[in-house]
Amino acid sequence: MLEAAGCADLLGLTRTRVPALTGIVSQFARDPQAIYVLALNETPPSSPDIFFMRPHVDRRWLGDGFGAAPPRWTAVAFLDFPRTGQGGELVVFPREAFGDGAPVAREDARATITAAGGRTITPQPGRICHLAGDLPHAVLGYSAAESDCRRLALVIAEFTPEGECAPETSYL
Protein backbone atom coordinates (compact mmCIF):
# COMPACT_ATOMS: atom_id res chain seq x y z
CA MET A 1 0.00 0.00 0.00
CA LEU A 2 1.25 3.47 -0.83
CA GLU A 3 -0.08 6.86 0.23
CA ALA A 4 0.95 10.14 -1.35
CA ALA A 5 0.11 13.83 -1.07
CA GLY A 6 -0.71 15.07 -4.56
CA CYS A 7 -0.44 13.57 -8.01
CA ALA A 8 3.24 14.48 -8.46
CA ASP A 9 4.19 12.66 -5.24
CA LEU A 10 2.15 9.60 -6.23
CA LEU A 11 3.64 9.47 -9.72
CA GLY A 12 7.14 9.87 -8.32
CA LEU A 13 6.65 7.09 -5.80
CA THR A 14 5.08 4.87 -8.46
CA ARG A 15 7.99 5.44 -10.86
CA THR A 16 10.43 4.54 -8.09
CA ARG A 17 8.67 1.59 -6.45
CA VAL A 18 6.38 0.04 -9.09
CA PRO A 19 7.39 1.54 -12.45
CA ALA A 20 5.27 -0.88 -14.48
CA LEU A 21 2.15 0.77 -13.03
CA THR A 22 3.08 4.38 -13.84
CA GLY A 23 0.98 4.47 -17.02
CA ILE A 24 -2.18 3.32 -15.26
CA VAL A 25 -1.65 5.58 -12.24
CA SER A 26 -1.05 8.61 -14.47
CA GLN A 27 -4.51 8.13 -16.01
CA PHE A 28 -6.12 8.86 -12.65
CA ALA A 29 -3.77 10.86 -10.43
CA ARG A 30 -4.33 14.43 -11.65
CA ASP A 31 -5.06 16.59 -8.60
CA PRO A 32 -1.97 18.21 -7.06
CA GLN A 33 -3.84 18.78 -3.78
CA ALA A 34 -5.48 15.36 -3.34
CA ILE A 35 -4.35 12.52 -1.13
CA TYR A 36 -3.95 9.26 -3.02
CA VAL A 37 -3.95 5.72 -1.70
CA LEU A 38 -2.69 2.99 -3.99
CA ALA A 39 -2.89 -0.73 -3.20
CA LEU A 40 -2.04 -3.91 -5.05
CA ASN A 41 -4.42 -6.72 -4.13
CA GLU A 42 -3.42 -10.29 -4.92
CA THR A 43 -6.14 -12.72 -3.94
CA PRO A 44 -5.88 -16.51 -3.81
CA PRO A 45 -8.61 -18.84 -5.09
CA SER A 46 -11.58 -19.50 -2.83
CA SER A 47 -15.25 -20.34 -3.29
CA PRO A 48 -16.87 -18.28 -6.10
CA ASP A 49 -19.97 -17.82 -3.88
CA ILE A 50 -18.30 -16.00 -0.99
CA PHE A 51 -17.25 -12.42 -0.53
CA PHE A 52 -13.45 -12.63 -0.45
CA MET A 53 -13.64 -8.95 0.49
CA ARG A 54 -16.99 -8.11 2.07
CA PRO A 55 -18.99 -5.07 0.95
CA HIS A 56 -17.21 -1.93 2.14
CA VAL A 57 -16.47 1.70 1.31
CA ASP A 58 -12.79 2.56 1.10
CA ARG A 59 -11.27 4.62 3.91
CA ARG A 60 -7.79 5.88 4.72
CA TRP A 61 -5.70 4.29 7.45
CA LEU A 62 -4.71 7.11 9.80
CA GLY A 63 -2.28 5.20 12.00
CA ASP A 64 -4.68 4.46 14.83
CA GLY A 65 -7.77 3.49 12.83
CA PHE A 66 -9.63 4.17 9.62
CA GLY A 67 -10.89 7.65 8.84
CA ALA A 68 -14.56 8.48 8.43
CA ALA A 69 -14.39 10.20 5.04
CA PRO A 70 -14.76 8.10 1.89
CA PRO A 71 -12.65 8.89 -1.16
CA ARG A 72 -13.90 11.12 -3.97
CA TRP A 73 -13.53 8.12 -6.24
CA THR A 74 -11.99 4.66 -6.40
CA ALA A 75 -10.53 3.01 -9.50
CA VAL A 76 -9.84 -0.71 -9.87
CA ALA A 77 -7.57 -1.95 -12.66
CA PHE A 78 -7.48 -5.69 -13.27
CA LEU A 79 -3.84 -6.59 -13.91
CA ASP A 80 -4.06 -10.39 -14.06
CA PHE A 81 -6.62 -13.15 -13.70
CA PRO A 82 -6.31 -16.92 -14.16
CA ARG A 83 -7.23 -18.19 -17.63
CA THR A 84 -9.04 -21.04 -15.87
CA GLY A 85 -10.66 -18.72 -13.31
CA GLN A 86 -14.37 -18.69 -12.53
CA GLY A 87 -15.72 -15.84 -10.36
CA GLY A 88 -13.50 -13.12 -8.87
CA GLU A 89 -15.85 -10.32 -9.87
CA LEU A 90 -15.75 -6.82 -8.47
CA VAL A 91 -19.25 -6.03 -7.19
CA VAL A 92 -20.57 -2.47 -6.95
CA PHE A 93 -23.69 -1.79 -4.89
CA PRO A 94 -26.11 1.13 -4.71
CA ARG A 95 -25.31 3.63 -1.93
CA GLU A 96 -28.28 2.57 0.17
CA ALA A 97 -27.65 -1.19 -0.14
CA PHE A 98 -26.28 -1.64 3.38
CA GLY A 99 -27.65 1.41 5.17
CA ASP A 100 -28.29 -0.45 8.41
CA GLY A 101 -24.54 -0.94 8.95
CA ALA A 102 -24.94 -4.61 9.88
CA PRO A 103 -22.10 -6.94 8.84
CA VAL A 104 -22.68 -8.81 5.60
CA ALA A 105 -22.17 -12.59 5.65
CA ARG A 106 -19.39 -13.97 3.46
CA GLU A 107 -21.47 -16.97 2.38
CA ASP A 108 -24.20 -16.95 -0.29
CA ALA A 109 -22.65 -13.84 -1.80
CA ARG A 110 -24.44 -14.12 -5.14
CA ALA A 111 -27.84 -14.18 -3.41
CA THR A 112 -26.80 -11.07 -1.43
CA ILE A 113 -25.77 -9.34 -4.66
CA THR A 114 -29.15 -10.02 -6.23
CA ALA A 115 -31.08 -8.93 -3.11
CA ALA A 116 -29.04 -5.72 -2.73
CA GLY A 117 -29.10 -4.76 -6.41
CA GLY A 118 -25.36 -5.16 -6.91
CA ARG A 119 -23.63 -5.12 -10.27
CA THR A 120 -20.83 -7.59 -11.03
CA ILE A 121 -17.83 -6.66 -13.15
CA THR A 122 -15.88 -9.55 -14.64
CA PRO A 123 -12.12 -9.43 -14.00
CA GLN A 124 -10.35 -9.11 -17.34
CA PRO A 125 -6.71 -8.00 -17.50
CA GLY A 126 -6.66 -4.43 -18.80
CA ARG A 127 -10.22 -3.60 -17.64
CA ILE A 128 -10.44 -0.52 -15.44
CA CYS A 129 -13.47 0.41 -13.33
CA HIS A 130 -13.90 3.94 -11.98
CA LEU A 131 -16.59 4.46 -9.33
CA ALA A 132 -17.83 7.09 -6.91
CA GLY A 133 -15.89 6.74 -3.67
CA ASP A 134 -18.95 6.38 -1.46
CA LEU A 135 -20.33 3.33 -3.31
CA PRO A 136 -20.08 0.04 -1.39
CA HIS A 137 -18.12 -2.56 -3.31
CA ALA A 138 -16.85 -6.09 -2.73
CA VAL A 139 -14.75 -8.84 -4.32
CA LEU A 140 -16.05 -12.34 -4.93
CA GLY A 141 -13.97 -15.46 -4.48
CA TYR A 142 -12.94 -17.46 -7.53
CA SER A 143 -11.86 -20.96 -8.48
CA ALA A 144 -8.87 -21.69 -10.71
CA ALA A 145 -6.36 -24.37 -11.55
CA GLU A 146 -3.65 -24.58 -8.92
CA SER A 147 -0.92 -23.95 -11.50
CA ASP A 148 -2.59 -20.78 -12.83
CA CYS A 149 -1.84 -17.18 -11.73
CA ARG A 150 -3.81 -15.32 -9.04
CA ARG A 151 -6.27 -12.44 -9.32
CA LEU A 152 -4.23 -9.23 -9.24
CA ALA A 153 -5.83 -5.79 -9.09
CA LEU A 154 -4.56 -2.26 -8.59
CA VAL A 155 -6.78 0.00 -6.47
CA ILE A 156 -6.37 3.78 -6.48
CA ALA A 157 -8.49 6.05 -4.29
CA GLU A 158 -8.47 9.85 -4.33
CA PHE A 159 -9.25 11.64 -1.07
CA THR A 160 -9.91 15.32 -0.49
CA PRO A 161 -7.11 17.06 1.41
CA GLU A 162 -9.64 18.51 3.85
CA GLY A 163 -10.85 16.37 6.72
CA GLU A 164 -8.57 13.76 8.21
CA CYS A 165 -4.87 14.48 8.45
CA ALA A 166 -2.48 12.40 6.38
CA PRO A 167 0.29 10.36 8.00
CA GLU A 168 3.65 12.14 7.71
CA THR A 169 5.29 9.40 5.66
CA SER A 170 4.34 7.41 2.60
CA TYR A 171 4.54 3.64 2.85
CA LEU A 172 4.63 0.62 0.59
Domain limits, the chain: 2-159
Q: What backbone torsions phi and psi does residue 6 show, to the nearest 5 degrees? A: 90, 155
pLDDT digits (tens, 9 = 90+) for 31-72: 999 999 999 999 999 999 999 999 999 999 888 888 889 999
Can you give the pLDDT of all 172 residues of the chain as single tens digits? 889 999 999 999 999 999 999 999 999 999 999 999 999 999 999 999 999 999 999 999 888 888 889 999 999 999 999 999 999 999 999 999 998 878 899 999 999 999 999 999 999 999 999 999 999 999 999 999 989 999 999 999 999 987 555 444 333 3
Element (H, E) at 13: helix 7-17
pTM: 0.89
Contact 44, 150 (CB under 8 A): yes
The CATH number given to 2-159 is 2.60.120.10
